[in-house]
Amino acid sequence: MIRAQVPGSRRLSQHISEGDGIAIIARVRDVESARAAEADGAKAVAVDGAVRGIRESTSLPVLWLGRWPPVDADAVAVRPGDEEDADGEVETVLHVKDEDELEAALEGHDPEIFLLAGDGDDDEDDPLASVLDLLPDVPAGKLAIAVADIATREQVVALERAGFDAVLAPVGREIGALVGAAPPDV
C-alpha cells in the first residue's frame, strides 16, 4: 500500500535540501536501524522492501528502492522508462547508471531528484569516480543523490564538494561517523 504523504513533512526533496552540508540517506532493513539512523543524523531512510512499522519508527522520509509496488514510501526510485509506474502520492527519484541513461531520461522528463549509481566499469579503483562523472550532466537546480560504497567521512565530504546534495549510505554503515558532527538536540 502506498500511503499519502503529509504535505511537506516527509518530502525527500525538502529533507535533503534543507540545512548545511550533504544529507545522509541510510539504507535500512528494519525499524531498529531506521531509529538509529535518525538518531545519528540521517535525513532519510531507504528500503529495498516492505519494513513493518517503518512509518511509526521514524519521522524521516522513506525512499523505496525495491520492486513494485512500493510500500509506505514517500519517494520512489524509478529507472528510465518506468516513470509511469510512480503515482502522484510519492516523489519520483530518477535512478540512472550511466551517461546514456541520464541523457535519455532527460528527453521529455523533468525529475527533481536524480539517484546517480554509476556503473563502475571504468573506475574500478575509485568507487566514487563513476558517480562523480555523472554529476556534471545533471541539470542545474536539480537534486543529486550519490550511490557509492562510501566508508569514511572524507568520502562524504568529497561528494559534497563535488556538488552532491545527498549520499545513499550502504546497509550497516555507521551513520554518525558519515554525518560528522552530532546533530543538535531539538
What single letter denotes the amino acid at residue 93? V
Long-range contacts of range 1-5, CB-CB < 8 Å, 24 or more positions apart? 1/71, 1/72, 2/69, 2/70, 2/71, 2/72, 2/73, 2/87, 2/89, 2/90, 3/55, 3/72, 3/73, 3/89, 4/89, 5/61, 5/74, 5/89, 5/90
The pLDDT value recorded for residue 79 is 86
Residue 92 grid cell: 519520483
Residue 82 grid cell: 518506468
pLDDT band, very low/low/confident/very high, at 64 (cuts 50, 70, 90): very high
Residue 58 grid cell: 521514524
Reported as a single tens digit per residue, the pLDDT across 111-169 is 899 999 976 555 455 667 889 999 999 999 999 999 988 889 999 999 999 999 999 99
Averaged pLDDT, 40-67: 95
Question: What domains are defined for the chain?
Answer: 12-171 (3.20.20.70)
Is 45 a residue whose pLDDT tops 50?
Answer: yes
* H-helix or E-strand spanning residue 169: strand 166-169
The pLDDT value recorded for residue 68 is 84
Is 20 a residue whose pLDDT tops 70?
Answer: yes
Q: What percent of the chain has pLDDT above 90?
A: 56
More confidently predicted of 151 and 4: 151
The pLDDT value recorded for residue 136 is 93
Tell me the three state secondary structure of residue 35. helix
The pLDDT value recorded for residue 186 is 47
